[in-house]
Chain A
Amino acid sequence: MEENNTRVGVFICDCGMNIAGSVDCEAVKDVAAAIPGVVVAMRNKYTCSDPGQEEIKKHIREHHLDRIVVASCSPRMHESTFRNCIADAGMNPYLLEMANIREHCSWVHLHDKPAATEKAKDIVKIAVAKACLLQPIEEAKIPVTDAALVIGGGVAGIQAALDLADSGHKVYLVEREPSIGGVMAQLDKTFPTMDCSICVLGPKMMDAGKHPNIELIAYSEITKVSGYIGNYTVVVNKKARYVNERECNSCGKCAEVCPVMVPDEFQQGFSSRKAAYIPFPQAVPASYIIDMKNCLGNNPVRCNKCVEVCEKKCIDLNMADKETEIKVGTIIVCTGMDVYDPTVLDEYGYTRFENVITTMEFERLVCGGGPTEGQILRPTDRKVPRRIGFIQCVGSRTANRGNPYCSNVCCMNTIKDSLLIKEHHPETEIFVFYMDIRAYGKGFEDLYRRSKEEGVHYIRGFPGEVLEVPGTKNVKVRVENTTTCKVEEYELDLLVLSVGLHQDAGLKKLCNLLNISLTADGFVMEAHAKLKPVDAPTPGIFFAGSVEAPKDIKDSVTQASAAVSRSSIILNSAFIKADGVKAVVDQEKCTSCGVCARICPYNAIEVDIKAKSGARIIVAACAGCGACSAECRFDAITVRHFMDDQILSQISSALAADPQNKIVSFLCNWCSYAASDVAGISRMQYPANNRFIRVMCSARVHERFIWHALKLGAPLVLLSGCHIGDCHYITANHSTQKRADKMWDAMEKLGIRPERLQLEWISAAEGPRFVHIMQELEKMRKAVTLEEIEYTRKVLSSMGDAN
Chain B
Amino acid sequence: MAELKDIIRQTKAQFCLDCGKCTAVCPVSRFDAKFSPRLIVRKALRHPDKIYADENIWSCIGCNMCTVRCNYNVSYVDFIRYLRMKSRENGTEPVFSHAGVPESFMHLMAKKETKQNRLGWIPDDVGIDDSSSTAFFVGCAPYFDAIFQDIGVRATEGSIGALRLLKAAGISYNVLADERCCGHDLILSGDLNGFLDLGHANLEEFAKRGIKKIIVSCPECYYTLKVDYPRYFNDWNVEVCHITEVPEISQVSRHTAADGSVKRKVTYHDSCKLGRYFKMYDGPRNLLNSIAGVELVEMENNRENAVCCGASPWMYCGSINKQVQDERLRQAGSTGAELMVTSCPKCQIHLTCAQKSHNNAAEEIKIVDMYHLLSKSLARKEKD
Contact = CB atoms under 8 A, between A and B. Distances in A.
Interface of A: 346-347, 393, 397-400, 402, 435, 460-465, 477-482, 485-487
B20 interface: yes
Given A399-B71, A400-B73, A487-B33, A465 B305 contact: yes
A397 B68 CA distance: 15
12 contacts: A397-B71, A398-B71, A400-B72, A402-B71, A461-B21, A462-B21, A464-B23, A480-B22, A480-B36, A485-B36, A487-B24, A487-B30
Contacts of A465: 24-25, 69, 305
B20 A481 contact: yes
Interface string B62-106: 000100111111000000000000000000000000000000000
Contacts of B23: 461, 464, 480, 487
Contacts, number: 75
B17 interface: yes
A393 B69 CA distance: 14
Contact of A435 (B19, B36, B65, B69): B19
Interface string B9-42: 0000001011111111100011001001011000
Given A435-B17, A480-B38, A464 B73 contact: no
A435 to B, nearest CB: 5
A712 B73 CA distance: 50
A5 to B, nearest CB: 58
Contacts of A485: 36, 39
B327 to A, nearest CB: 13
Nearest to B32: A487
Contacts of A460: 20
A487 B34 CA distance: 10
B338 interface: no
Contacts of B72: 398-400
Contacts of A400: 68-73
A191 B317 CA distance: 53
A587 B352 CA distance: 91
Contacts of A399: 15, 71-73
Contacts of A393: 19, 71
A657 to B, nearest CB: 39
B304 interface: yes
Interface in B29-62: 29-30, 33, 36, 38-39
By Cβ-Cβ distance, the 4 closest A-B pairs, closest first, are A464-B25, A480-B20, A464-B24, A461-B20
A396 B15 CA distance: 14
A478 B18 contact: no
A460 B70 CA distance: 16
How many interface residues does chain B have, given as a range?
Answer: 20 to 34
Contacts of A398: 71-72
A398 B73 CA distance: 9
Contacts of B39: 485
Given A462-B24, A480-B20, 7 more contacts: A347-B25, A397-B71, A400-B70, A435-B19, A461-B19, A464-B24, A480-B21
Contacts of B68: 400
Contact of A464 (B15, B18, B22, B33): B22
A345 to B, nearest CB: 9
Contacts of A461: 19-21, 23-24
Nearest to A346: B304
The residue in B20, B21, B68, B71 that gathers the most chain A C-beta atoms within 10 A of its C-beta is B20
B305 A347 contact: yes
B271 to A, nearest CB: 20
Give the residue among A346, A462, A464 with the most B Cβ atoms within 10 A. Answer: A464
Interface in B260-290: none
Contacts of B69: 347, 400, 464-465
B24 A479 contact: yes
B17 A397 contact: yes
Contact of A480 (B29, B71, B73): B29
A398 B30 CA distance: 24
B73 A478 contact: no
B142 to A, nearest CB: 39
A398 B69 CA distance: 10
A439 B272 CA distance: 40
Given A347-B305, A464-B25, A485-B39, A479 B73 contact: no
Given A398-B72, A400-B71, A487-B29, A463 B36 contact: no
Contacts of B19: 393, 435, 461-462, 482
B252 to A, nearest CB: 32
A435 B20 CA distance: 9
B33 A486 contact: yes
A478 B21 CA distance: 9
A468 to B, nearest CB: 11
A464 B38 CA distance: 13
Nearest to A436: B17
A435 B304 contact: no
Nearest to A397: B71
A479 B29 CA distance: 11
Contacts of B15: 399
Contacts of A478: 24-25, 30
